Amino acid sequence: MRRAARIGGVALTALLLWQALVTLAELPRFILPGPGLVFATLWSSRALIAEHALITALEVLLGLGLGAVLGFASAILLTASPLARSILRPMLVFSQAVPVFALAPILTLWLGYGLWSKVAMALLIIYFPVTSAFFDALMRTPPAWLELARVMNATPARVLWRVRVPAALPGFASGLRLAAVYAPIGAIIGEWVGASRGLGYLMLLANGRAKIDLMFAALIVLAVLTLLLHAAVDAACRRLWER
């Protein structure tokens, strides 16, 4: 209850500051519309925004799910195989040297303007954080636990799945929390490069037609979706960890 009140207070303060800036600076609506106009547009265009929001949400959820599975499997492989570490880790680091934004046109060229180029962008942008967080946690298993497993003659596979993985789940959860914030960024970048649906496409369309109030309305919906996704992932991780 206190958390909800705190969030509500922060949101109300931000809206008041926003309205004060528009009023005091006498900004025209095509530069920065007031919150009243934006929320009026959000209500009047709710069907249009909801249609595009569903597409973006689907892209984000698919990218998040695939990225989480791929990141989990990659971290396990890196932990279990020294050969994989020597080959894949440099490749992972190199992949971060290439801006993900620069890959969006290539993915659009290869996968088309449909759903999967955006899913691929979301997957790419979250793959490294999930893999890195989980792998680091797997490699930092308490030495006493590993020593106890060796004393009990546990096989390497049992040590991995019965000791290392359970101990590293909080690290995996941390990677998922980051992924929940990053995944919408990847989907929106993909929509900006080439799309016919989605909140990113709607924002570009509104900007091109000087409908800045609609652009801000879509941006607010995107921010709310991101916050809800992060809260859902955080709650799921907490519940699983408590069990």
Q: Which CATH number do you get for residue 224?
A: 1.10.3720.10
Q: What is the mean pLDDT of residues 178-207?
A: 93
DSSP state of 114: S
Structural domains of the chain, count = 1
pLDDT computed for residue 117 by the predictor: 92
Q: Does residue 6 form part of some domain?
A: no
How far, CA to CA in Å, does 159 sit from each of 56, 70, 80, 130, 206?
A: 40, 21, 10, 22, 55
- 14 falls within a domain: no
What pLDDT was estimated at residue 243? Answer: 57
Position 59 scores a pLDDT of 96
Whether pLDDT at 158 is above 70:
yes
pLDDT at 241 over 70: no
Highest mean pLDDT among 3-7, 112-116, 136-140, 142-146: 136-140
Q: What is the pLDDT of residue 4?
A: 66
Angle (CA) 144 148 151, round 5°: 140
**Residue 130, pLDDT score:** 94
**Would residue 73 count as lying in a domain?**
yes
Question: pLDDT at residue 96 above 80?
Answer: no
Average pLDDT over residues 118-135: 93
For residue 16, is it within any domain? no
Residue 9 in any domain: the answer is: no
Whether residue 163 has pLDDT greater than 70: yes
- Pairwise CA distance, residues 89 & 154, whole Å: 27
* pLDDT class of 178 with cuts at 50, 70, 90: very high
Domain membership flag for residue 202: yes
Q: What range defines the domain where residue 216 resides?
A: 45-242
pLDDT of residue 73: 95
pTM: 0.91
Those residues whose C-beta lies under 8 Å from the C-beta of residue 79, and which sit 6 or more positions away, are 135, 138, 139, 160, 164
Looking at every residue in the chain, the average pLDDT score rounds to 90
What single-letter amino acid sits at 31? Answer: I
Residues 51-73: what's their mean pLDDT? 96
Say if 8 falls within a structural domain. Answer: no
31 or 44, greater pLDDT: 44
Residues 6+ apart with CB under 8 A from 241: 169, 170, 173
The confidence score (pLDDT) of residue 30 equals: 85
Q: Residue 60: its pLDDT value, please?
A: 96
29 — pLDDT class (breaks 50, 70, 90) = confident
